[in-house]
Structure formats: C-alpha cells, structure tokens
Amino acid sequence: MSSPHSHQSARMKLPPPRRTLTQRLALCVEQAHALKGWIEQARKRSAALDATFETIERDSHIGGGILAGALTYRLFVFVLPLAFFIVSGLGLLASAVGIEPHVISNSVGLAGVVTKQVASTAKGPSSWWVALSSFFLLVYATRVLLRAIAIVHSLAWERSAASVKVRSRSLGVFGAALIGQLALVAGVGAVNHQSTIGGIVTLVLFEFVLAALWLIISLEVPHSNARWTDLIPGSLFYAIGFSGVVIFNILILGNLIQSKTSTYGALGTAATLLLAFFFVGRVIVGAAVLNATLYERRSRAHGRARTRS
C-alpha cells in the first residue's frame, strides 16, 4: 500500500501543462510589443538607426518591390536591343577593327550575358540594317527606361508621378552615362584579367566613378530642390549595390545560367537574368528612397532649428 508521501512525489514529477494556442499567440504579441518598444527607444537614441527604419518605411509606402519589378522589365527590354546592336555593329567592324563581339561580351556584365545568348543563336554575317534597326530600338528602349527611373524618383521624392517628363537633354545625358558605365565595367573586366593588384585598385576607382555617373543621372530626374551634394549618399549606395550585383553575376549568375539552360532551356536563362535585373532595380529604388529620406530629415532638422531661433 502506497503512502501519502509517494502520491505527493508522483504529483511533483508530472510535466507542466502545455500552453494553449491562444496563450502562445498572446505571448508572441507581448514579445512583438516589447520588441517594438525597444526599437522605438533605440531609434530615439541613434539617428542612423532611425534614418534606416525611416528609409525602409518610405520604401514600403511607395511600393519599392513593385517598382523594382517594373524596372526589371524595362531593363530586360533595354538590354535586348543593346545585345543585338553589339553583335551586329561589332560584327560589321570586326574586319576593320579586329574586335569580335564575344570579346566585349565577356566583360560587360549583364549586357554581356545577353549578348552571348544572342551571338550563339545568330546565323550568318551581320548586316547594316540589323545594326540600324537595333539602334533605333535601343534609343526607344533607353527613353522608356529613363522614364521609368524618373517615375521611381518622383514617387520617392514627391509621392506622385503626375508631372514626369523626359527631356531630350536628359535622354542624351542618360545615354552617355550608360555608355560610360558599360565602358567602365568592360575596363574593369579587362584589368582583372591582367593583374590581381591592378584589379583591386581598379575596383576602388570603379566604385567612385560609378557613383559619379549615377550622380549625373540623379540630377536629370526629379529630386525636389536638393543640391547635388544631397544626392551623394544615394549615388554611393547605387555604386556599392551595383558592384554587389556584378559580383553576384561573376560568382553565381554564370553557373545558374549554365545549369538552368541545360535543364529549362531559354526560359531558365530568362528567369535567371530577370532575377539579376530585379536586384539592379532594387538598388535603383533604394538609392532614390535613401536620398529622399535623408533630404527630408535634414529639412525637418533645419525647420526645427529655425523655429527655436
């Protein structure tokens, strides 16, 4: 016969009751509320953290992911005639200059990847009408891309895109900046093949030159009343982000295209390219939102300073 002491020991060894689903949800809500309170306190203590969250909130408010998706399509449409123009145009100059299209396509980034695909399917010698027609299509696609970028900046800065217009001067500046960026990527690729140290030095210069090119483009799209110095943070963000995409292309994109092409054919290649273009679009949206957020914060700070004085 068991004693009362043994019954008490058995009760003490019983496992604790499990929380119900309602109790678990309530606990998650309490933890989220506590985390939110901690974040709010941290934002008050750190201006950099507050600016980061404000940038994220602004990006979410204008639909940054959707805008990046729209830019993805425009970038893809822009690169297609560019690839045809590179293949046909350089094909016509190959005998005179001694430059084959595949030499350029090896070092011009995403445009080079598309160029390789176009060159691999091209049959016969290039003709002047293909180069001419692809050039006019490229001009049109460049204008469409510039308008999309201008709309993104207008939404980031003014929360509206009703008055976005593409001027001829802006189109020329944008086209020249794109040519400079393509030449810059090709130059970095050529130096990297020659020397490792030279490649590192060139990569540092690449960041600053790329930031300068994007700064020029940022001055041609809506940016409120901001001065050129107010656009430097976003330009640096674009340079760093685009470099990350370039590294992604070198380390991952090439292998993905090879594997997806053998498995899914042209659809696999297109899907992989669209992923890389989406990253570029996200960088463009992020650069615009960052500049607009920091400029607005500075304007509020100046307004409070004037009120106190």
Does position 307 have pLDDT exceeding 50, yes or no? yes
Q: Is residue 23 part of a domain?
A: no
Identify whether 2 is part of a domain. no
Helix, strand or coil, per DSSP, at residue 126: coil
Mean pLDDT of 255-277: 69
User: 41 lies in a domain?
Assistant: no
Instruction: Give the global pTM.
Output: 0.77
Query: Following DSSP, what letter does each residue of 35-78 receive, concatenated?
Result: HHHHHHHHHHH-HHHHHHHHHHHHHHHTTHHHHHHHHHHHHHHH
What value does the mean pLDDT take over residues 94-101? 49
User: Mind listing the pLDDT tens digit for each residue in 210-234?
Assistant: 999 999 999 999 998 899 999 999 9
| In a domain? residue 34 | no
pLDDT band at 192; cut points 50, 70, 90:
low
Q: How far apart are CA 212 and CA 234, in angstroms?
A: 11
pLDDT value, residue 100: 52
User: Containing domain of residue 263, as a range?
Assistant: 62-299
> Taking the CB of residue 269, how many other CB atoms lie within 10 A of it?
19
Would you say residue 256 has pLDDT above 80? no
Per the prediction, the chain carries an average pLDDT of 78
Query: What is the model's pLDDT at position 121?
Result: 45
In a domain, 40, yes or no: no
* Number of domains composing the chain: 1
The closest of 148, 144, 142, 152 to 173, measured between CA atoms, is: 142
Q: Kindly state whether residue 74 falls inside one of the protein's structural domains.
A: yes
Rounded to 5°, angle at Cα 250 from 244 and 253: 95
Select from 207, 76, 82, 239 the least CA-distant residue to 148. 76
pLDDT average, residue stretch 250-270: 65
- Per-residue pLDDT band for 305 (boundaries 50, 70, 90) equals confident
Would residue 123 count as lying in a domain? yes
pLDDT score of 123 more than 80: no
Is position 258 within any domain? yes
